[in-house]
Amino acid sequence: MMGRTHALTGWCAGLALAPAVGAGTVHQAVVFAATTAGFALLPDLDHPGASASRLFGWLTGALSWLLRRLSAGVYALTKGPRDEKVTGTHRHLSHTVLFAAGLGAATSAGCSAGGLWAVLAVLLLGLLLAESALGDWLLPVYGGAVAWWFFTAPPDREGQLAEISGWLGVAVAAGCFVHCLGDSLTESGCPFLFPLPIAGETWYEIRPPKPLRLRTGKKVETRLVFPLFAVAAVLLVPGVWDWLAGTAEQLFVPPDAQTATP
């Protein structure tokens, strides 16, 4: 999948998960979803040309190189008798549920130990990753959500910080997992169930039947999948359904019926 599709599916997943983690207001859901959208791009750090690898120049380029070396080493040690003869760099270690869960747990632990600066670092990284794929419109939306949160939050700043720290691990893990699900719909598939052996392969590429596989960047993704998720991204914002229902009632229900009493 293209980077913007990964980010948009991560955004939708974040909005859907936000109420489950307690981020029930609009501004909380926006912050949570933007973080999930950003980290839905992170697994592609194992490709030197990906936006995640180019985000901070030589720094993320070096991290990409290290991840590729690590992924290749793990692949060489764990590949099954029927696994392909490939380098094991792109779409391997970082494209697994194990990686998503591990990074989410590490994020939660790091934010709990590092306090405010660790939380801000994760939020900023998620925002910059998401903005690089979805566009600059995200910056004022995110900034407005943070400002709203700051001015309407209760005075218990430490409690708010602890709450955000708990969310971030879920957001990071969910973003990486959604990326794997997206890649599993493509022609190449995704070995996200590693190290579970399937049909003699430790790195078995999960993918749908051939007629249902997506070709990255082609018409089905750009003209169908991306627009559908763009609509979902709006409909999943807290309060949108209530607003639509109220608007529909005003437009289609006669005024006398609205004011009638039983």
Mean pLDDT of the chain: 85
Is the CB of residue 174 less than 8 Å from the CB of residue 18?
no
pTM: 0.86
Residue-wise pLDDT tens digits, 81-131: 899 889 999 999 999 999 999 999 999 999 888 888 888 899 999 999 999
pLDDT band at 154 (very low <50, low <70, confident <90, very high): low
Q: Domain spans of the chain?
A: 3-15+26-243
CB count within 10 Å of CB 119 equals 21
Which pLDDT score is estimated for 171? 95
Which pLDDT score is estimated for 227? 76
Residue 81: strand, helix, or coil: coil
Measured over the CA atoms of residue 18, residue 63, residue 196 and residue 83, the dihedral's sign is positive
Which pLDDT score is estimated for 126? 93
Q: What is the largest CA-CA distance in the chain?
A: 74
- Residue 253 in this model has a pLDDT that exceeds 70: no
pLDDT band at 250 (very low <50, low <70, confident <90, very high): low
Within 8 A by CB and 6+ apart from 137, the residues are none
Q: How far apart are CA 154 and CA 149, in angstroms?
A: 9
Q: How far apart are CA 191 and CA 23, in angstroms?
A: 31
Residue-wise pLDDT tens digits, 182-219: 999 998 899 999 999 998 899 999 999 988 888 877 77
- Residue 261 in this model has a pLDDT that exceeds 50: no
**In the numeric block, which tokens belong to residue 155?**
């005075």
- Of 172, 166, 164, 207, nearest to 186 by C-alpha is 207
